[in-house]
A = this chain, B = another copy of it.
Amino acid sequence: MIGVRSKIWFAIRGSPLIGQGRRDLLVYIDRFGSISAASREMGISYRKAWSSIQAMEECLGKKLIVRRRGGRDGGTASLTDVAKELIAKYDRVAGGLSELIDHRFEEVVKEQGKIH
């Protein structure tokens, strides 16, 4: 019934730079080649995806996405090297933490007590 959840994110001067959701968005953009395809696949609105990218780039002060408007497909988007580095570093810090926390939680919650 009771469970544990966690979040981990990078921040600059207190403002959030990237967490799991934004990290996933970048990966989806890399995979599907456009912001709109990525948002469709993730089940979020294009508006939300675009706002997230805007916030990340403004926070970091560097371009994360190369945008191209026009063309037969209407446009495309791809990741800069900075974005790829950011994903890699986030993954190395956050990787496996959720499993570690779940494991700790199971150890604690299986004990006797009034909470189950």
Contacts and interface: CB of A to CB of B under 8 A. Distances in A.
Contact of A108 (B2, B89, B108, B109): B89
Interface string A17-32: 1000000000000000
Interface of A: 1-13, 17, 60, 62, 81-82, 85-86, 89, 92-93, 97, 101, 104-105, 108-109, 113-115
Contacts of A81: 114
Copies per complex?
Answer: 2
* 4 closest residue pairs by CB, A with B: A6-B8, A7-B7, A93-B104, A92-B108
Given A4-B10, A82-B115, A89-B108, 11 more contacts: A1-B13, A3-B10, A4-B8, A4-B93, A6-B9, A7-B8, A62-B114, A85-B114, A92-B104, A93-B104, A97-B101
